[in-house]
Amino acid sequence: MFGKGHSGWGIYAPAHSLELLVGSATWKPAVVEGRIEPREMLNVTVMFDHDVIDGAPAARFTYRLLELIESGDGLGEGQVTSSLQSDIGL
């Protein structure tokens, strides 16, 4: 994780039905408005216990989590609750 250009490794120990592992940030090419530009990317691993969570709901959760992270949901002034909380009924 601390090496230049390396994303790092996580060891999965199934203690919970959902775990998030945040790795390092690395520079990678990304398409921005039709152009390829260097962007700093955060490596995040989402781990599910498939004995508890089926693949389809896990994929929908991961996709929605990605949308919220990319949009910066909850970072605006005055935003108290997250859209993810309303999506899952909290």
**What gap in Å lies between CA 9 and CA 64, rounded to an integer?**
24
Cβ neighbours of residue 85 closer than 8 Å, sequence gap 6 or more = none
Q: What does residue 29 show for φ and ψ, rounded to 5 degrees?
A: -75, 140
The SS3 of residue 7 is coil
Geometric angle at alpha carbon 29, from 27 and 32, rounded to 5°? 120
Predicted TM-score (pTM) of the model is: 0.60
- The pLDDT assigned to 78 comes to 63
**What is the domain partition of the chain in residue ranges?**
1-49, 54-90
Could you identify the residue written with the tokens 């781990």? 47
- The pLDDT assigned to 1 comes to 46
- The pLDDT assigned to 14 comes to 63
- The pLDDT assigned to 90 comes to 47
Q: What is the DSSP letter of 48?
A: E
pLDDT (tens place) for every residue of the chain, 90 residues total: 455 555 556 565 667 788 888 888 889 999 999 999 999 988 888 888 888 888 899 999 999 988 888 888 877 766 655 555 565 554
Q: What does residue 8 show for φ and ψ, rounded to 5 degrees?
A: 90, 175
